[in-house]
Amino acid sequence: MIEFKEVEKRYPNGFLALNHINLQIEQGEFVAIIGLSGAGKSTLLRCINKMHDITEGTLRVNEVNVQHMKGKGIRNLRRNIGMIFQSFNLVTRVSVLKNVLVSFVPNMPVWRKVLGIFTQEEKRQALMALDQVGILDKAYVRVDQLSGGQQQRVALARTLAQNPQIILADEPVASLDPVTAKQVMDDFKRINKQFNMTIIINIHHVDLALAYATRVIGVRSGEIVFDGQASEITEETLAFIYNTTNQGRGETEHVMEDAITEKNSFA
């Protein structure tokens, strides 16, 4: 479904963000991408929906060469790929329902975009999406009156309303407390299983990655250094991904050890 072949991404300043990426992700997988900040996780994710262009290699989504897409091709690609950000990207001064209805705007005729008119079917789909993430009762509440976890669920509902095949989530729980983060991850897991939807998440919380993802990809300095089942992860594997040593047991190592010992508590 998603295939990277010898993909490189070099920024205009010469920085090599991705180096010789070879990767296949099939329909229905739940993949967590882990690694240090700046390792290339977000770049890898954003190349999939062409938010970033690759500079070498081949990237295909549903057998279509992404780097050759332009205009309408890019819009069609993104119609099947939902994107969720850490910052939620919501309009806080309007209702939850109106934020979810935004997912239909790209496919609307110009006159309806200008007038802000949505069909009854679009409203029904938006309400169904809110129900799927458990906040249907908040449909007519202003977004700025919601908690952070509820806002992230609005962002997820907005993505579900467009009926994507793939969801890309860039640090979706980074700003949430542990209890709320678990609730949001529960939503992702349920949606993955219920709709056989491919979900790819960049995440700093190693414990959540190990508890929820069926597959973990470790990225270090723009290269994939681990790709396997969460159950295969060991302290040594994490130490290699995060480029740590046994000297100076810092915060990162303690976090990794906690992830190994506590991962089952989230199941």
Does the reported pTM lie above 0.75? Answer: yes
Q: Kindly tell me the burial class for residue 235, based on how many C-beta atoms sit within 10 Å of its own C-beta (0-12, 13-18, 19 or more).
A: middle
Please provide the average confidence, as pLDDT, over all residues in the chain.
Answer: 89
Number of domains forming the structure of the chain: 1
Residue 53 CB partners (closer than 8 Å, separation 6+): 9, 47, 67
Q: What is the pLDDT of residue 25?
A: 97
> Which residue, 64, 38, 65, is CA-closest to 54?
65
Give me the phi and psi of 148, to 5 degrees please: -60, -40
Own/partner long-range contacts of 51-57 (Cβ < 8 Å, ≥24 apart)? 51/83, 52/9, 53/9, 54/7, 54/8, 54/9, 54/18, 55/8, 55/9, 55/10, 56/6, 56/7, 56/8, 56/10, 57/4, 57/5, 57/6, 57/7, 57/8, 57/20, 57/21
Q: Which residue has the higher pLDDT, 236 or 254?
A: 236
The average pLDDT across 127-146 equals: 95
Residue 133 CB partners (closer than 8 Å, separation 6+): 153, 154, 156, 157, 160, 187
Q: What is the pLDDT of residue 266?
A: 53
Q: How far apart are CA 81 and CA 88, in angstroms?
A: 16
Q: How far apart are CA 242 and CA 69, in angstroms?
A: 34
3-state secondary structure of 19: strand
> Which residue, 249, 253, 263, 220, is CA-closest to 37?
220
Give me the phi and psi of 3, to 5 degrees please: -135, 120
Residue 265 has pLDDT above 70, yes or no: no
Domain range holding 261?
2-266
**Residue tagged 């789909």 (tokens):** 125
Q: What is the pLDDT of residue 263?
A: 53
User: What are the structure tokens assigned to 237, written together?
Assistant: 């594997």
Q: Which residue has the higher pLDDT, 263 or 150?
A: 150
Amino acid at 33: I
Interval 197-221: pLDDT, tens:
999 999 999 999 999 999 999 999 9
Residue 76 has pLDDT above 60, yes or no: yes
Q: How far apart are CA 143 and CA 140, in angstroms?
A: 9
The average pLDDT across 27-48 equals: 95
Interval 94-134: pLDDT, tens:
999 999 999 888 778 888 888 888 999 999 999 999 999 99
User: What are the structure tokens assigned to 16, written together?
Assistant: 């090599």
Interval 171-194: pLDDT, tens:
999 889 999 999 999 999 999 999
Amino acid at 205: H
The CATH code of the domain that includes 71 is 3.40.50.300
Q: What is the pLDDT of residue 35?
A: 96
